[in-house]
């Protein structure tokens, strides 16, 4: 399934994701922004030196569920996350995410923001 075929994954609506807790094995659900860049889905966050729990969880088990919440298009989609750590790839992607948010601290985002690519199963 491609992201372009799913209403609600256009980057204009918040989604939820469910990961598996790395310590507890329990499902962990959070609301987060998704960015659709030319049909590829990315999730990022505010720059911070602290690694978020959801990144740790996905590092342990990359399987996740994407919960589309747009009215009339609600669905739960199995997906796989890939943590984007490659510096060149981050440099290519982060300016577009920063632009979506109206942020100007692109260098800080490249260095400190979490970034994953989501592939729908």
What pLDDT, on a 0 to 100 scale, did the predictor assign at position 1? Answer: 62
Element (H, E) at 113: none
- Residues 1-17: pLDDT tens digits? 666 668 889 877 789 99
Quote the pLDDT of residue 10: 83
Domain that holds residue 10: 3-120
Q: What is the pLDDT of residue 2?
A: 67
Residue-wise pLDDT for 31-51, tens only, equals: 999 999 999 999 999 999 999
CATH value at residue 77: 2.30.110.10
Q: How many domains does the chain have?
A: 1
Listing DSSP states for 63-111 in one string gives EEEEEE-STT--EEEEEEEEE---HHHHHHHHHHHHHHHT---HHHHHH
pLDDT confidence of residue 66: 97
Instruction: Give the chain's largest Cα–Cα span.
Output: 38
Exposure string of 55-69, with b = 16+ CB inside 10 Å and e = fewer, is bebbeeebebbbbbe
Decide if pLDDT at 71 tops 90. no
């Amino acid at each position: 399934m491609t992201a372009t075929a799913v209403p609600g994954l256009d980057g204009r609506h918040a989604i939820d994701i469910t990961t598996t807790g790395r310590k507890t094995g329990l499902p962990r659900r959070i609301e987060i922004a998704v960015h659709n860049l030319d049909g590829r889905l990315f999730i990022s966050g505010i720059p911070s030196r602290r690694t978020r729990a959801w990144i740790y969880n996905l590092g342990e088990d990359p399987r996740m569920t994407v919960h589309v919440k747009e009215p009339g298009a609600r669905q739960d989609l199995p997906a796989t996350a890939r943590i984007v750590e490659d510096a060149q790839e981050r440099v290519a992607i982060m300016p577009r995410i920063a632009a979506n948010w109206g942020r100007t601290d692109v260098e800080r985002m490249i260095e400190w923001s979490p970034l994953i690519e989501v592939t729908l199963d």
